[in-house]
Chain A
Amino acid sequence: MIELDIEKRLGAFDLAVRFSAPETGITAIFGRSGAGKTSVVNALAGLLRPDRGTIKVGEEILFSSEAGIDRRPEQRRLGYVFQESRIFPHYSVRGNLRYGMRRGAASHPTLSFDAVVELLRLDPLLERRPRDLSGGERQRVAIGRALLAAPRLLLMDEPLASLDIAHRAEIIPFIERLRDRLSIPIVYVSHAMEEIIHLGDTLVMMSEGRVAAVGPVEEIASRLDLRPLTGRFGAGSVIRTTVAGSDLVFGLSELSFPGGRLRVPHLGLPLGTPVRARIRARDVSLALAPPKGISILNIFAGRVVEIAQDADPMVEVRLDIGTAARPVPLWARITRRSTHELTLEVGKPVYALVKSVALGRTSFSPYDASAEQDGG
């Protein structure tokens, strides 16, 4: 577990953060700028000393004001990928990568120099000087440099924020590879809900120096009371599924979840792979009876759980399309007029229609299924 309970006064800003997260998968810290996310990561890394509290990773206490423990940053063995990459300008890429390498690390099976260079495709860059690197390349070098220091935990503070959209798309697959191929837990700070839905397992939501909520990403992201904090990130739901089959004739994959099967464009993943599927609320339509003669492949029976009423002409409706034992929340965005015409109310049975075509490749990401069990 990563356990954190700290207080820190920073000028007029008051940070009081308390959460624990599993030491597996990606723990995403989400919040608007100024919410105190970076301060939390800096406190973890030992770059910011809390006024009070404790920080524990696994069995080791990194900081405790009561016990008088404050491990130095160099003793904490936490890798840190900074927003502005912080590549050493006076070393080559190879020199940067080697900077944190320890004698023991060279024999580490997944974190040898060659393995990291291969994982992040750094080979063509090795002899380059940092000034000749693009933003995306710099960030890859920064990730490699942090990994080669053999950290027990990798901290990433908005690693994509300083990049333009094209370079972001270049980095995300590498972060996915870290998550899928290395067993290093990651604490990932971001103010972009899209990134977190895509990458995160556990979500720590911060607001004004406090933790507003902690839990599995799909649970927190679907909570209506947190909507003011999550924002309309193209609001939607995240469903945990497993690859259950593929329709090679028509080029479709089937993802099963408690309550049904989702047919989506072929993903090319092995059977049984856990996949997180994100379905935007605006791609979900509702019907009172199962429609016939319709092109939509995904039709799920469910019932209305919640209707988010506000002044907008649009309304967000939360459904449960799971089973009695395992509810699966699904958000639908429809017009207020439709709500009226369908006489939707809480508890009413409905059918949710999801267009397969609306689900692009970025809607799916494999995840570490062990994280949720450990996370409890």
Chain B
Amino acid sequence: MPLTALEVSALELSLRVALVSVLTSLPFGLAAAWLLARTRFPGKSLIDGLIHLPLVLPPVVVGYALLVLFGRRGVVGAWLYESLGITLAFDWKGAALASAVMAFPLMVRAIRLSLEAVDRRLEAAARTLGAGPLRVLLTVTIPLTAPGILTGAILAFARSVGEFGATITFVSNIPEVTQTLPLALYSLIQQPGGEAAAARLTIIAIVVALLALIASEILARRIARRIAGAA
């Protein structure tokens, strides 16, 4: 069964949005997890709450807030357009931003847990062997946090592929521009006689999800084997 043009574009768009959202938010996720796991500063619980907000807010609220902030006339959006020529609203990049914000708490949580489990005495040992803080981070801390980073990235990817509410509010549902898999599915369900096409999209969504799960499982096992002995 060859895929239709709509299916191809929706699938391709979904994967691109999810991938870009995970890859660009990963450094921020690492930094936020580091901040929460390793540092103490006044107002930390406020930052913690802010990061977790998308988890408890209705997605439409997040989408609307993004529109207000990042819309062409929004505070950040206007600046982005004027100085860098970037438009996020009603664009696939905006969909990636919406996905990233929605998935951020999941990513930070997973990395933070893993970071807190790293034996800090190993970092001290690395220091006595002549490694500066950056080298310790790259050769000890991050490799030992790898399982958490992977879990966080996969959770965020899955969340991004499934993102609906914030996306449709922020970037709308424009075929071939912002119409990701869930949005396409939603459109098909709204049309009379779209059931067959909707069923095909559902199957595609399931296959994508399964493939992602299997790939992550293989990767997780390989990482676990590399750092085994920690227990």
Q: Residues of A at under 8 Å CB distance from B?
A: 45-47, 72-74, 76-80, 82, 84, 86, 88-90, 99-100, 102, 129-132, 145-146, 149
Contact of B228 among A99, A129, A146 (CB under 8 A): A129
Residues of B111-169 whose CB lies within 8 A of A = 119, 121-122, 124-132, 139-140, 143-144
Q: Is the CB of A80 within 8 A of B125?
A: yes
30 contacts between A and B (CB under 8 A): A45-B128, A47-B128, A72-B132, A74-B130, A74-B132, A76-B128, A77-B130, A79-B128, A80-B128, A82-B125, A86-B124, A86-B125, A88-B122, A88-B140, A89-B122, A89-B228, A89-B229, A89-B230, A90-B229, A99-B126, A99-B129, A99-B139, A100-B131, A102-B130, A129-B228, A129-B229, A130-B229, A132-B229, A145-B129, A149-B130
Q: Which residue of B lies closest to A145 (CB)?
A: B129
Q: Which 8 A-B pairs give the minimum distances between C-beta atoms?
A: A131-B229, A100-B129, A73-B127, A89-B229, A86-B125, A80-B128, A89-B230, A90-B227
Q: Is the CB of B130 within 8 A of A100?
A: yes
Does B226 sit at the interface, judged by CB under 8 A? yes
Q: Is the CB of B140 within 8 A of A47?
A: no
Q: Is the CB of A74 within 8 A of B131?
A: yes
Q: Is the CB of A47 within 8 A of B124?
A: yes
In whole angstroms, what is the CA distance A46 to B230 when docked? 25
In whole angstroms, what is the CA distance A131 to B228 when docked? 7
Q: Which residue of B lies closest to A105 (CB)?
A: B130
Contact of B121 among A84, A99, A132, A146 (CB under 8 A): A84
Q: Which residue of A lies closest to B223 (CB)?
A: A90
In whole angstroms, what is the CA distance A23 to B140 when docked? 32
Q: Is the CB of B129 within 8 A of A149?
A: yes
A contact residues around B139 at 8 Å (CB): 99
In whole angstroms, what is the CA distance A242 to B14 when docked? 82
B contact residues around A45 at 8 Å (CB): 128
Q: A47-B127, A129-B228 are in contact. List 13 more A-B contacts (CB 8 A).
A: A47-B124, A47-B128, A73-B124, A73-B127, A74-B132, A79-B129, A80-B128, A86-B121, A89-B122, A129-B229, A146-B128, A149-B128, A149-B129
B contact residues around A78 at 8 Å (CB): 128
Task: Provide the B194-231 mask, 1 if CB < 8 A to any CB of A, else 0.
Answer: 00000000000000000000000000000000111110
A contact residues around B227 at 8 Å (CB): 89-90
B contact residues around A74 at 8 Å (CB): 127-132
Q: Is the CB of A46 within 8 A of B127?
A: yes
In whole angstroms, what is the CA distance A140 to B131 when docked? 21
Max count, chain A CB within 10 A of own CB: residue among B119, B129, B227, B228: B129
Residues of B81-129 whose CB lies within 8 A of A = 119, 121-122, 124-129
Max count, chain A CB within 10 A of own CB: residue among B121, B125, B132, B227: B125
Tell me the minimal C-beta distance from B219 to chain A in angstroms.
15
Q: Is the CB of B127 within 8 A of A72?
A: yes
B contact residues around A90 at 8 Å (CB): 143-144, 226-227, 229-230
A contact residues around B125 at 8 Å (CB): 80, 82, 86, 88
B contact residues around A130 at 8 Å (CB): 229
Residues of B2-50 whose CB lies within 8 A of A = none
In whole angstroms, what is the CA distance A275 to B126 when docked? 37
A contact residues around B132 at 8 Å (CB): 72, 74
Tell me the minimal C-beta distance from A139 to chain B in angstroms.
13
Tell me the minimal C-beta distance from A1 to chain B in angstroms.
21
Tell me the minimal C-beta distance from A69 to chain B in angstroms.
17
Tell me the minimal C-beta distance from A144 to chain B in angstroms.
12
